[in-house]
Amino acid sequence: MSKDGGIHSGAILRRYAQAILKDGDDLIPAREAAIAELGTPATIQAASIVASFDGINRVADATGIRLDKEAESTGSSEIIETLELEELGAARA
């Protein structure tokens, strides 16, 4: 698989999304790279998508929504357990 994950400018988008979600020094350089590659409107749209998904995840965590059977059957529960993600919801309370 390519570094872009088969998505046009995927590597740039991944870097930008990760920079948005982390506290770090890469946000401005990642945003500038995204604007240079994709243009301002697409970069704004990418930021809004990241914010939307992050918000949805926070609401799900806060309400205690559990994985459905289909998600559990794909191994998601093992990933959550291995990465100790259950603790994240408790840490925010």
Give pLDDT tens digits for 36-83.
Answer: 999 999 999 999 999 998 888 778 777 777 767 776 677 767 767 776
The pTM of the full predicted model, rounded to 2 decimals, is 0.64
With contact defined as beta carbons under 8 Å apart, do 13 and 7 qualify? Answer: yes
Q: Where are the alpha helices (DSSP H) in 3-93?
A: 10-21, 27-38, 40-63, 69-73, 76-82, 86-92
Residue spans of the domains in the chain: they are 10-92
Structure tokens at 54: 């992050």
**For residues 14-39, average pLDDT:** 93
Residue 90 pLDDT class (50, 70, 90 cuts): low
Structure tokens at 76: 């998601």
Residue 56 DSSP one-character state = H
